[in-house]
Amino acid sequence: MMRTIAFGPTGERVPAIALGCMRINALDAAGAEKYVKTALDLGANFFDHADIYGRGECERIFGRAIAGIPREKMIIQSKCGIVPGQRFDFSKEHILSSVEGSLERLHVDYLDVLLLHRPDALMEPEEVAEAFTTLKDSGKVRYFGVSNQNPMQMQLLQKFLPMKIVANQLQLSITNCTMISNGIQVNMQTDTALGRDGSVLDYCRLNDITIQPWSPFQYGFFEGVFLGNEKFPELNAVIDKIAADYGVSNTTIAVAWLLRHPAGFQPIVGTMNLNRLKDCFKATEVTLTRQEWYDIYKAAGNVLP
């Protein structure tokens, strides 16, 4: 069964891997039902959504796929705050209307987790606090978090919130790991020593905020996957060797690299391929050695001081 991790400051434990549903609209009704059932059978019951995925269609498809499944069997997370191509919107009105829309499309009475989707430059934290309090008191959302926010943004928001921020969804993979490299390159005159995210990794660990890595197989900003990519020959050679040693796939090792970090990351995997999904889940059974972790880190082009 799926290994579990502590979820933020909630006192609850959740699956070590979450399922991203951004691509579920690529499946037909039968495929979506099989995807959900397979995940649940394997102990992976944490599903990540956003109101903008498929312009709402992903939540609708998922809502139909879970018909007849007891609500308490699933942990459902969604995100709001992006108006595609127009603005980011953390106004109370937008947050409340977005949640209502998600609940209707998902055919559920409540969300387990709501994340603010990317920072809004015009955020008024008092207004966000009012929206969150309304949702909490009405039983429509249990826990709240953010995505792609730095420590000061979270600290500003937390100042006004009556509840704790439980999660921060951040881009993180073997090839996109500046938040890790910043800590290794402290006091060095190297490019990766530049603090681009304000020590967000340490801040989240200090404040019991679960980091949810998104795009764990991507390099750049949705430029493609690094696994099997000729642009990363050394990285793939190292990953493939370690995968062979453990008798698993390269996909498994890529996820295991994230899970090896003591921060307790909860990677968001978005594959709709059931075999690859199972390979992702196998990562919870693999604990890389310290040397293997660093070998992969260096093979990705990261340099030790």
Cα separation of 218 and 233, whole Å?
15
Q: What is the token pair recorded at 61? A: 């498809």
Q: What is the token pair recorded at 157? A: 């928001």
Where would I find the H helices in 107-223? 125-137, 151-160, 178-184, 200-206
Q: Identify the helix (H) or strand (E) that includes residue 48.
A: strand 46-48
Residue 53 annotated among the catalytic residues of the structure: yes
Other C-beta atoms closer than 10 Å to the C-beta of 138 total 11
Phi, psi of 118 (to 5 degrees): 70, 155
Q: Do 7 and 209 contact (CB within 8 A), yes or no? A: no
Q: What is the token pair recorded at 51? A: 């109101």
Query: Which of 53, 143, 203, 219 is the catalytic position?
Result: 53
Catalytic residues: 53
